[in-house]
Chains A and B, each alone.
Chain A
Amino acid sequence: MALLSKKDANLILDPLADNNPITIQVLGICSALAITAELKASLVMSISVIFVMGVGNVVISLMRNLIPSKIRIIAQLIVVATLVIVVDQVLKAFAYELSKTLSVFVGLIITNCIIMGRFEAFALGNGVWRSFLDGVGNALGYGLILVMVGFFRELLGAGTLFGIPVLGDPIAKTGLYSIGYENNGFMIIPPAALIVVGVIIWVQRSRNRALIEEA
């Protein structure tokens, strides 16, 4: 690509797979799993996080020489909180139903460890453009897992995607249901999200054995 040098492109591509924030760095699981029962909510959450991370990393990177290191955590929290308020107000204005579904989890983007982690690890020590790429890359990696989990949970749990039935009608017994398929109500309860992520980690590490932990 002419627009991005190879090094810069890696900032975006690495977090998508081998340095994924959720499955490898173990960051940002908190607000991620509770809202993945539906694909739509996962997608909106991912977009919100991409916005907050991209802009937040730029702001922190611009201020990196101004923030005294002792109070940097509070300074970072204020920057994130401001951005999250913007996201929350926009959601309330344009997608009120969805903002009810996400409820407190929009607010919890503030304490999403990915954001603080990337501020600390990257934006405080790097230039604006690279910080922006790093923020967007990590948020994309986070969103990827979220959308994957949302996809499987909604498909297997309710037989729909974005609320549209794709496997046929469970009551009228059309499509897959006509040959005896049943919705797995198990996938809708919260703990199933953890198990789905566990399985994603399993698949990823089986494919790339370098990622296997010692313990």
Chain B
Amino acid sequence: MLEHIELFFKSIFIDNMVFAVFLGMCSYLAVSKKVATAVGLGAAVIFVLAVTVPLNWLLDQYLLRDGALAWLGPEYADYNLSFLSFIMFIATIATMVQLVEIVVEKFSPSLYNSLGIFLPLIAVNCAILGGSLFMQARDIPSLGLALNYGISSGIGWFLAILAIAAIREKIRYSNVPPPLRGLGITFIITGLMGIGFQSFGGMLTGDNDPPETTEQTTAEKIEEEKIIKEEIDDKKAVSYNDVINE
């Protein structure tokens, strides 16, 4: 239970799709001019992520990963099809989006009217494929957690697009320098919001792994190098002092 809660808050705030890994930026920038449309797209993203991440988790567990085919018999245990995961994931996503569109149109025309136009957009939204790829890269251990991961990262994306849409509606009345208007200021605001979201990084204490972004590793490398060099410098200073003392 605790791991569910931890994953839930971690995916919403710390590893936020938009602010930490920049997924789904294209539709995030294109569809965030009005709050109402942003809500529609955000809801569709939550929905599709909640369907595709668990599905791709099953695919990964029972078809793609190293030794996943063992259930077919011992002679299949050596197969590793993980190089096929891109094409399998994207095919699942495109099919599911199409299927979801048909089902929603059939059973809930009102929902279709509000979500419908966004669904085709979603097949090529990086947040969706990114959700599945991160699920694979982070080795999410169970189907329940995969579902949780899909929903919570969807909510994180929803929050981000809602916030930027609200800000963009207000900023229309501000006096932004002309060359920055539109795209430029949106980029900079998103950057500032991202810095704000970084402060959630300290929210989970205990054994939270460092996030797997490349930036972090570079920062850490530099940090490590500094520490090592400082240690060497300290040692030098100590021996120097010793010499003086002697």
Chain A nearest CB from B27 CB (Å) reads 8
- CB–CB B20/A190 < 8 A: yes
204-226 of chain B: CB within 8 A of chain A: 212-215, 217-219, 222, 226
In the complex, per-residue mask of B166-201: 1 if CB is within 8 Å of any chain A CB, else 0: 000000100001111111111110111111001000
Stretch from A5-13, A58-66, A135-143, A205-213 that touches the partner: A205-213
A31 pairs with B185, CB closer than 8 A: no
Given A103-B137, A171-B229, A191-B198: A73 and B219 interface contact (C-beta under 8 Å): no
When the two chains form their complex, are residues A213 and B181 in contact, meaning their CB atoms are under 8 A apart? yes
Cβ of A33: which chain B residues have Cβ within 8 Å of it? Answer: 22, 25
Candidates B26, B91, B137, B187; contact of A198 at CB < 8 Å: B187
Digitize B16-41: 1 where CB-to-A-CB distance is under 8 Å, 0 elsewhere.
Answer: 00011111111001100100000000
In the complex the two chains form, is B123's CB within 8 Å of A103's CB? no
Total interface residues on A, using CB and 8 Å? Answer: 63
Candidate in B23, B87, B91, B126 with the most chain A CB atoms within 10 angstroms:
B126
Considering only CB atoms and an 8 Å cut-off, how many residues of chain B contact the other chain? 67
Q: Are B126 and A108 in contact (CB under 8 A)?
A: yes
Per the bound structure, the CA–CA distance linking A28 and B24 in Å amounts to 9
CA distance A154 to B124 in the complex (A): 30
Cβ of B86 < 8 Å from any Cβ of A?
A: yes
A-B contact number at CB 8 A: 186
Does residue B133 face the partner (Cβ distance < 8 Å to A)?
yes
Q: Is A167 positioned at the interface, with any CB of B under 8 Å from its CB?
A: no
Q: Which residues of the partner chain A approach B33 to less than 8 Å between Cβ atoms?
A: 215
Residue A128 lies at the interface, judged by CB distance under 8 Å to chain B: no
Smallest CB-CB separation from B181: which chain A residue? A213
Contact (Cβ within 8 A) B218 A188: yes
Closest to A207 in B: B179
The reply to whether B218 and A104 form a contact with Cβ atoms under 8 Å apart is: no
- The answer to whether B22 and A34 have CB atoms under 8 Å apart is yes
CB proximity of B135 to chain A, nearest CB, Å: 10
Give the contacts of A1-49 with B (CB-CB under 8 A). Answer: 23, 26-35, 37-38, 41
Main secondary structure of the interface of A (DSSP, over half): helix
Within the assembled complex, what's the spacing in Å between the Cα atoms of A41 and B213? Answer: 13
Given contacts A77-B94, A189-B195, A189-B215, contact A108 B23 (CB under 8 A): yes
Assess whether B194 is in contact with A190, with CB atoms less than 8 Å apart: yes
Q: Is the pair B86, A84 in contact by a Cβ cutoff of 8 Å? A: yes
Contact check, A104 vs B137: say whether CB atoms are below 8 A apart. yes
Is A124 at the interface (CB under 8 A from chain B)? no
CA distance A46 to B171 in the complex (A): 34
Whether B94 lies near A74 (C-beta < 8 A) is yes
Pick from B85, B94, B182: contact of A213, CB under 8 Å: B182
Question: B123 and A30: CB pair below 8 A?
Answer: no
* A contact residues around B233 at 8 Å (CB): 171
Is there a chain A Cβ closer than 8 Å to B134's Cβ? yes
- B217, A26: Cβ atoms under 8 Å? no
Which residues 72-128 of B have a CB within 8 angstroms of A? 83-87, 89-91, 94-95, 98, 120, 123-128
In the bound complex, CA of A38 to CA of B126 (Å): 22
Q: Does B67 contact A (CB under 8 A)?
A: no
Which A residues are within 8 Å of any B CB, using their own CB? 23, 26-35, 37-38, 41, 73-74, 77-78, 81-82, 84-85, 88-89, 101-104, 107-108, 110-113, 116, 157-158, 170-171, 183, 185, 188-195, 197-199, 201-206, 209, 212-215
User: Which 3 pairs between the two chains have the least Cβ-Cβ distance?
Assistant: A191-B194, A213-B182, A198-B187
14 further interface pairs, Cβ-Cβ under 8 Å (given A188-B215, A191-B195): A30-B23, A30-B130, A31-B22, A33-B22, A37-B214, A104-B137, A108-B126, A111-B124, A112-B126, A113-B26, A191-B191, A191-B198, A212-B179, A214-B181
